[in-house]
Structure 1
């Protein structure tokens, strides 16, 4: 389990994240919401070990994150950043195969995992193509397959952190990628995903963390967090909250 306790981050003498307490639960998807500059990517950087806390702690399975070796941590914690760039013409399967580097499972097993991860990310048809020939959305799905392959098939004790995985995707692939994320969590992995779309968050996340100016404003189920008052306070939006007619989750309609 990945856990943050009284987490605060300073940058340039300024506090950009403060007072965050959360624990990622096996088999559950936590969505992080907030306007630009709210501290969402900073939180992910702290949880992944990229940013050192000014106060508080980040622990993975009870051990401080900084006590884990890189390869040991990579076998149970994978991170998809907001943007992933490569400037060399690797084939798609080679990019996804980079997720298997922390493991020693053999070429045959790794190839099977790469193919399975590409299918999960709705990118199997890209097998054999040059990464540089792909569109932005296709590249994003390939990188999602890479981090899925890193933890494949997902199990209790593994954690996946995703920073805006739907940002370059069309509506169909936004849903397919989040369905793949939910399926991965269903295998036992804990997942944190940063999103901007409130309705996608309502549909695919078990819990939501709402950030404003680097501080938590609400943490709970979609029903508890996606209410008119906090959304007005954080986003400045006047909204109606209805029910999805088939799924039953909150449906946010801007007035």
Structure 2
């Protein structure tokens, strides 16, 4: 009798355990789904945080790059301004030195003389023969003007002031050529001439002068005319 009751009790326990087992098995998937959702949400949040960090970093790098570019441009402008100021200062100093040197060179010409290039020129107000004019220039430690180029010819023409003035060109006898030749007082022959149109070149003791238009003409030594003297000066320009 007792045996049967025990067996009935065991059967009741088995039935209870069998009835309780389905509830626990139902809770497991629900817990798993809940954990997965938490993981998914956490992962999404983490991804958003990482993305936000990347975007923030990109913005900071861009701002830093722009700031560096602005600083670089500012430094370049400052450097350019500094160089321009230094260059302008050097130009000003050179200009000042040049003007001072020009003043010194101008002062090398005696009073009443005019400077052109590296020479001083004197235009007489008196009238003398070619030989006397030559002597007068020598007394002034100079010589009758020797015209070497068109620029000097133009200057002498302006200095002549529409008068007739002796220059340092005369006819000399050449032993090698056996004839009279035009030569400057320093013995050189003219390389560029400015004779008046149709000017004749007679043989004999003739010298050249500038006419009222500045063109060269020949005349015998003893005629009185104005004259132009020239003297060289030290010149580095």
Considering the TM-score relative to the shorter chain, is it more than 0.5? Answer: no
Whichever of the two has the greater Rg, that structure is 2
Q: TM-score, normalising length from structure 1? A: 0.23
Q: TM-score, normalising length from structure 2? A: 0.25
Q: Which structure features the higher share of helix residues?
A: 2
Q: Which structure features the higher share of strand residues?
A: 1
